[in-house]
Chains A and B, each alone.
Chain A
Amino acid sequence: MSRIQIFLFILFSAISLIFIVLNKTADFYISTHLSEILLFPVRHVSNFFQYLNVSQKKIDELETRLSEIQIENQNLKDSLRTLSLPEIILKKDLRLLKANIIGRDPLNFNGFLYIDKGRSDSLDINAPVILQDKLVGKIKALTTNTGIVETIENDGFAISAVDTRTGVYGVVKKKNQLTFEYVKVDDEINKGDSIYTSGLSEIFPKGIFVGTVAKINYSDDLFFKEVIITPALKINQLNYVYIIH
Chain B
Amino acid sequence: MRFLLYFILCYVLLPVNSTIDFISIILYFIILNEDEKFSIAFAFFAGLLMDLYLPVSLGLNTLIFLILGQALIFLKKYFVREPLTLFFIFLAFYLIRILLLYLINGITFNITTILLTVIVCLPVYYLLSKLCFRVWMRI
Partner-B contacts on A (CB < 8 A): 1-2, 4-5, 8-9, 12-13, 15-20, 22, 27, 30-31, 34-35, 38-39, 41-42, 45-46, 49
Query: Chain B at the A interface: mostly helix, strand, loop or mixed?
Result: helix
- B63's partner among A13, A22, A27, A39 (CB-CB below 8 A) is A13
Q: Known contacts being A2-B37, A5-B40, A45-B11, is A31 close to B55, with CB within 8 Å?
A: yes
With a CB–CB cut-off of 8 A, which chain A residues contact B53?
Answer: 39, 42
With a CB–CB cut-off of 8 A, which chain B residues contact A39?
Answer: 49, 52-53
Kindly state the separation between the CA atoms of A15 and B119 in the bound complex, as whole angstroms. 33
Q: Known contacts being A16-B44, A38-B48, A39-B53, is A45 close to B15, with CB within 8 Å?
A: yes
Task: Tell me if A9 and B59 are in contact (CB < 8 A).
Answer: no
Task: Tell me if B36 and A20 are in contact (CB < 8 A).
Answer: no
Task: Tell me if B58 and A22 are in contact (CB < 8 A).
Answer: yes
Kindly state the separation between the CA atoms of A27 and B15 in the bound complex, as whole angstroms. 22
Partner-A contacts on B (CB < 8 A): 11-12, 14-15, 36-37, 40-41, 43-44, 47-49, 51-53, 55, 57-60, 62-63, 66-67, 70, 73-74
Kindly state the separation between the CA atoms of A49 and B47 in the bound complex, as whole angstroms. 24
Task: Write the chain B residue with the least CB distance to A37.
Answer: B52
With a CB–CB cut-off of 8 A, which chain A residues contact B40?
Answer: 5, 8-9, 12
With a CB–CB cut-off of 8 A, which chain A residues contact B66?
Answer: 9, 12-13, 16
Task: Write the chain A residue with the least CB distance to B35.
Answer: A5
Kindly state the separation between the CA atoms of A2 and B40 in the bound complex, as whole angstroms. 12
Instruction: For residue A48, give the distance in angstroms from its CB to the closest CB of chain B.
Output: 11
Instruction: For residue B75, give the distance in angstroms from its CB to the closest CB of chain A.
Output: 12
Task: Tell me if B70 and A42 are in contact (CB < 8 A).
Answer: no
With a CB–CB cut-off of 8 A, which chain A residues contact B62?
Answer: 12, 15-16, 19
With a CB–CB cut-off of 8 A, which chain B residues contact A46?
Answer: 15
Kindly state the separation between the CA atoms of A16 and B62 in the bound complex, as whole angstroms. 6
- A15's partner among B12, B44, B60, B73 (CB-CB below 8 A) is B44
With a CB–CB cut-off of 8 A, which chain A residues contact B15?
Answer: 42, 45-46, 49
Task: Tell me if B44 and A12 are in contact (CB < 8 A).
Answer: yes
Kindly state the separation between the CA atoms of A49 and B16 in the bound complex, as whole angstroms. 12
Task: Tell me if A34 and B48 are in contact (CB < 8 A).
Answer: yes
With a CB–CB cut-off of 8 A, which chain B residues contact A2?
Answer: 36-37
B15, B41, B43, B59, most chain A CB atoms within 10 A: B59
A4, A13, A18, most chain B CB atoms within 10 A: A13
B41, B60, B66, B67, most chain A CB atoms within 10 A: B66
Task: Tell me if A15 and B59 are in contact (CB < 8 A).
Answer: yes
Task: Tell me if A5 and B11 are in contact (CB < 8 A).
Answer: no
Kindly state the separation between the CA atoms of A29 and B43 in the bound complex, as whole angstroms. 23
Task: Write the chain A residue with the least CB distance to B105.
Answer: A20
Task: Tell me if A41 and B59 are in contact (CB < 8 A).
Answer: no
Task: Tell me if A34 and B37 are in contact (CB < 8 A).
Answer: no
Instruction: For residue B44, give the distance in angstroms from its CB to the closest CB of chain A.
Output: 4
